[in-house]
Amino acid sequence: MTKEAAISFAGWGYRRPLRKDYVVKGLNLEICKGERVLLLGSSGIGKSTLLCAIAGVLGNNESYAAPASQREDEDGGVTEGDLLVEGLHPQDARGRCALMMQDPEAQMVLQRVGDNVAFGLENLGIERKEIWRRVRESLKRVGLGSVELSRSTSHLSGGQKQRVALAGAIAMRPSILLLDEPTANLDPKGAREVSRACHEVLKENPATVVLVEHRADDWLDILDRVVILGRGEDGLAKVAADGSPDEIFSDPSIDFDSLGIWIPSKFALAKLQRKRLEEQIRIKAESDRDPGSLAPGGPQSLVDRGSGKNLIAPSVKFAKKREFEKGEVVLEARNLSIGYNGKSIADGVSCAFESGKITILAGENGAGKSTLAMTVSGLMAPVGGEVRVSDDLASGLKGSPFSWTSRQLCKRIAYVFQNPEHQFVRNTVLEEVMVGFLETGSGKEEARYLAHSLLKRFDLDKYSQANPYTLSGGEKRRLTVASSLASSPEVLVLDEPTFGQDRSTWLEIVMLMRSVADSGVAVVAVTHDKELIEFLSDKVVTIGTEDDCSIKVKGPEERKEGRKPSALSPILSRLNPAIRFLCAFLLSIPLFLSLDPLSAGVALALEFVFMEGCGISLKQAFRHAWPILAMAPWTFLAVVIYGKKGSVTYFAWGMIHITNKSVYLAFATFLRVLAIAVPAVLLVLGIDSTDLADAASQILHLPERFVYGGLAGIRLFTVLSDDWLQIGQARRSRGLGDRKRAVRFFTQSFSLLILSIRRSTSLSTAMEARGFGSGQRRTCARQSRTSYRDWVALVICAAIPTSALILAFYCGTFALGGK
């Protein structure tokens, strides 16, 4: 059967910037039109790279015109060989492919649901009416037909976000749909939603599909081909297996284990795989328990290997710090209420965590698992009830963990965050681990020695001088566990430790948790990973809204969400946002001409009248402009004592001169600060950034690339606020939360910058995959309008300062630059 090729790789390869080795090299693969292909292979084999390449978003402006066999793009990546997408170079075929990535957050480009789906269509230059027709249709297709277009994406669950991304992809009517682990970051319910939506979408759609997914169970019936990528002995990428799903998954000659692949449970081989896995974990656990064992990774190794005994203080030994009794309750929630900002999401929570055991907190995303875990580990304040700790764990401390200092906390309870990057605090892997030892009282040399042995145990010693951020996903995870253990806590809490990991990393983490628990630590894992629960748990606590859950929470309120008010009053909100900015400028800037109490006072009075006319009462105005009112007296004071000197001096001391003129000017400045700043704040408060961007591009004709690039960045602001909170909590759990505020501010800002750069990289890939910046003329789904009201507002805003200034001129108080 000869079918037309949709995608063809010929001797294709790609090398990331600064890397010596190619991710993929010498790949030959052809995918025909209409085929539905599952792409498998161990992590690091370059599956995501292939999808990005097909979508044409791998590196900017690759100079493909050059005939050279190796081409470097602007981002420093090197491509070789050929790749054709429907006969075109991938960058020219951008509109034909739609890419859906694994991180739901990264694909939400704009604030509102509808705008997100419309984004790709705008970039394709589709006409406005058609855009909204397709937006509604696509949302319906993915089962989100009842969600308002104006709903904020930050109020969606992960599964809903992924479906919005899918809707955005199919709305572009692509002939090739690329799905990069679309359910890897979701809980089982979200994953089901997304795969069901994909099934629905693909039923009558003739598109070619390339899917990357570690767990294929939910996808089998839409797939007709499975390609397993491997690496040959020569280092070249090769197709290790290729065939129908039935052929592949029933072929015992394929080594699924080392490829990191879960065999779908409907195939007979799956059972064998699970047996092998159980065996592996059992052997591991036994070797750990054997006290004579010096096997690398054994919990005893750190202590036993210590050559200089004096180096290891008894308090910092990692394993078996004391004879623990397995099953002793160390931490307990009693009738606890958990929640945010004093609002509880669950009451009467009682559960206990025992030493040497692994307790799993399971349940859907957003049900409150992490909130519970954070509350018992002293990172969030309990809303009510009690977190009790055993006398051993408290060792002299009183109160609940939340009342302990950061340093006291890190010796007792450690929390490993879901995103490892939230908790990195140092520039090298070694220092990262040393922190824990240093904070618990070790000297520098001792800490170094201990850190090295701990790193060896985690097989990270070879990276001791590397920057933590440069490690791979699995390595980062191991490092965060290692650095949390450095302060030898008795409770270790892990948030989604296996999230988005392939099978080999998964196994690594599972074994790690087992051996930590066997050394006497109470391990708590927050997860919804079925396999993790199956293979590891000594005890499962489920949290959710359903009746069979051991802890019941109030479900999140299903809310109807209209558009948010975009100004302090309805009249203002009807003005165009760009005009509102102009109004603020017109009102305030002319006042700089004169510094006198009369013009400033008159302008201020007129402004209040104007505000009143717009429906903002004086009280409202003061409430929203309080920061200015709080600052103005200081400015007044500064001018009084340091301002320009007049003829009569009331008081003089060193640099300070209080004179008749300085008092007069201070009075004028005080009024003018208010006259300038108050309307400048009131007029722009509440402006929706999407509306502002539309106005900036349509009314002010600013370049779209910058406007919408900036807008996408602004959406990150809310995400960054969450990041900031988590970075702070991570620092507290690592014993660094007691530092001075200024130090905390700077170090946290640094972590935030790195995180935001990471986020921006995936965000810009998502935007490019939707055709942004392709050079095609863009349409705008939302029309930014101006009406007569805008012009009236502009005229009034110009008239207020002008009349105040004219009045001052005639009364003789006008003073250019304060004379």
User: Where in 401-440 is the site for another protein (CB under 8 A)?
Assistant: 427
Nearer to another protein, 126 or 668 (CB): 668
Nearer to another protein, 605 or 702 (CB): 702
Determine which residue in the list 504, 760, 774, 802 makes contact with another protein, applying CB under 8 A.
760
CA proximity to 579, closest of 674, 677, 700: 700
CA separation for the pair 622, 604 (Å, rounded)? 13
Q: Which among 36-44, 204-212, 380-388, 753-761 is the span making contact with another protein, rule CB under 8 A?
A: 753-761
CB of 597 within 8 A of CB of 667? yes
Give Cα separations from 42 to 214, 216, 261, 726 (angstroms).
9, 14, 7, 31
Phi, psi of 243 (to 5 degrees): 175, -170
Q: Which among 154-162, 378-386, 466-474, 549-557 is the span making contact with another protein, rule CB under 8 A?
A: 466-474
Determine which residue in the list 409, 494, 611, 712 makes contact with another protein, applying CB under 8 A.
712
Shortest distance, position 420 Cβ to another protein, whole Å:
12
Determine which residue in the list 220, 720, 794, 799 makes contact with another protein, applying CB under 8 A.
720
Tell me which H or E stretch contains 457: helix 444-457
**Paired sense of beta strands 491-495 and 413-416, if any:** parallel
Nearer to another protein, 289 or 426 (CB): 426
Site residues for another protein, window 62-101 (CB under 8 A)?
Answer: 75-76
Q: Which among 331-339, 435-443, 463-471, 472-480 is the span making contact with another protein, rule CB under 8 A?
A: 463-471
CA separation for the pair 335, 351 (Å, rounded)? 9
Q: Which among 386-394, 522-530, 549-557, 712-720 is the span making contact with another protein, rule CB under 8 A?
A: 712-720
Q: Which residue reads 């628990």 in tokens?
A: 517
Q: Is 565 in the site for another protein (CB under 8 A)?
A: no
Give Cα separations from 182 to 99, 158, 197, 453 (angstroms).
10, 11, 11, 39
Nearer to another protein, 58 or 333 (CB): 58
CA separation for the pair 592, 717 (Å, rounded)? 32
Nearer to another protein, 512 or 707 (CB): 707
Nearer to another protein, 689 or 779 (CB): 689
Shortest distance, position 766 Cβ to another protein, whole Å:
13
Determine which residue in the list 750, 785, 787, 806 makes contact with another protein, applying CB under 8 A.
750
Q: Is 767 in the site for another protein (CB under 8 A)?
A: no
Q: Is 467 in the site for another protein (CB under 8 A)?
A: yes
Q: Is 700 in the site for another protein (CB under 8 A)?
A: no
Determine which residue in the list 761, 776, 785, 811 makes contact with another protein, applying CB under 8 A.
761
Nearer to another protein, 128 or 644 (CB): 644
Nearer to another protein, 140 or 623 (CB): 623
Site residues for another protein, window 656-695 (CB under 8 A)?
Answer: 662, 665-666, 668-669, 672-673, 676-678, 680-685, 687, 689
Nearer to another protein, 65 or 757 (CB): 757
CB of 447 within 8 A of CB of 434? yes
Q: Is 745 in the site for another protein (CB under 8 A)?
A: yes
Q: Which among 13-21, 292-300, 430-438, 450-458 is the span making contact with another protein, rule CB under 8 A?
A: 13-21
Shortest distance, position 180 Cβ to another protein, whole Å:
19
Determine which residue in the list 754, 792, 795, 811 makes contact with another protein, applying CB under 8 A.
754
Q: Enter the tokens of residue 408.
A: 């006291």
**468, burial (CB in 10 Å: exposed 0-12, middle 13-18, buried 19+):** buried
Determine which residue in the list 709, 737, 771, 801 makes contact with another protein, applying CB under 8 A.
709
Shortest distance, position 534 Cβ to another protein, whole Å:
36
Site string (17-46) toward another protein, x via CB under 8 A: xx----------------------------
Count of Cβ atoms closer than 10 Å to residue 456 Cβ: 17
Shortest distance, position 559 Cβ to another protein, whole Å:
24
Site residues for another protein, window 567-586 (CB under 8 A)?
Answer: 581, 584-585
CA separation for the pair 258, 578 (Å, rounded)? 58
Q: Enter the tokens of residue 663.
A: 């008092």
Between CA 700 and CA 704, with CA 701 as vertex, the angle to 5 degrees is: 125
Nearer to another protein, 313 or 796 (CB): 796
Tell me which H or E stretch contains 263: none
Phi, psi of 17 (to 5 degrees): -55, 140
Nearer to another protein, 9 or 463 (CB): 463
CA separation for the pair 41, 761 (Å, rounded)? 24
Determine which residue in the list 759, 770, 778, 782 makes contact with another protein, applying CB under 8 A.
759
Phi, psi of 241 (to 5 degrees): -155, 150
Non-local CB neighbours of 559 within 8 Å, separated by 6+ positions: 155
Nearer to another protein, 172 or 682 (CB): 682
Nearer to another protein, 88 or 753 (CB): 753
Look at residue 317 and give its three-state secondary structure. Answer: coil
DSSP H helical segments within 615-774, as ranges? Answer: 618-624, 626-642, 660-684, 689-698, 704-733, 741-769
Nearer to another protein, 397 or 681 (CB): 681
Nearer to another protein, 211 or 682 (CB): 682
Shortest distance, position 749 Cβ to another protein, whole Å:
5
CA separation for the pair 27, 808 (Å, rounded)? 79
Count of Cβ atoms closer than 10 Å to residue 709 Cβ: 18
Shortest distance, position 717 Cβ to another protein, whole Å:
6
Shortest distance, position 741 Cβ to another protein, whole Å:
10
The DSSP result for 379-393, as a single string, is SS--SEEEEEE-HHH
Shortest distance, position 566 Cβ to another protein, whole Å:
11
**Paired sense of beta strands 491-495 and 522-526, if any:** parallel
Edge-to-edge strand ranges of the sheet holding 413-416: 413-416, 491-495, 522-526, 358-363, 539-544, 551-552
Site residues for another protein, window 494-553 (CB under 8 A)?
Answer: none
Phi, psi of 679 (to 5 degrees): -65, -30
What is the size of the binding site for another protein (CB under 8 A)? 78
CA proximity to 524, closest of 715, 288, 704, 352: 352
Q: Which among 101-109, 111-119, 749-757, 795-803 is the span making contact with another protein, rule CB under 8 A?
A: 749-757
Nearer to another protein, 170 or 678 (CB): 678
Q: Which residue reads 């479900």 in tokens?
A: 555
Site residues for another protein, window 628-647 (CB under 8 A)?
Answer: 628, 630-631, 634-635, 637-639, 641-645
Tell me which H or E stretch contains 552: strand 551-552
CA proximity to 614, closest of 437, 449, 792: 792
Nearer to another protein, 272 or 720 (CB): 720
CA proximity to 519, closest of 302, 701, 335: 302
Nearer to another protein, 240 or 815 (CB): 815
Site residues for another protein, window 779-818 (CB under 8 A)?
Answer: 817-818
**127, burial (CB in 10 Å: exposed 0-12, middle 13-18, buried 19+):** exposed
Shortest distance, position 807 Cβ to another protein, whole Å:
19
Site residues for another protein, window 239-258 (CB under 8 A)?
Answer: none
The DSSP result for 154-171, as a single string, is GGS-HHHHHHHHHHHHHH
Site residues for another protein, window 134-153 (CB under 8 A)?
Answer: none
CB of 678 within 8 A of CB of 609? no
> E strands within 200-276?
208-212, 225-231, 237-243
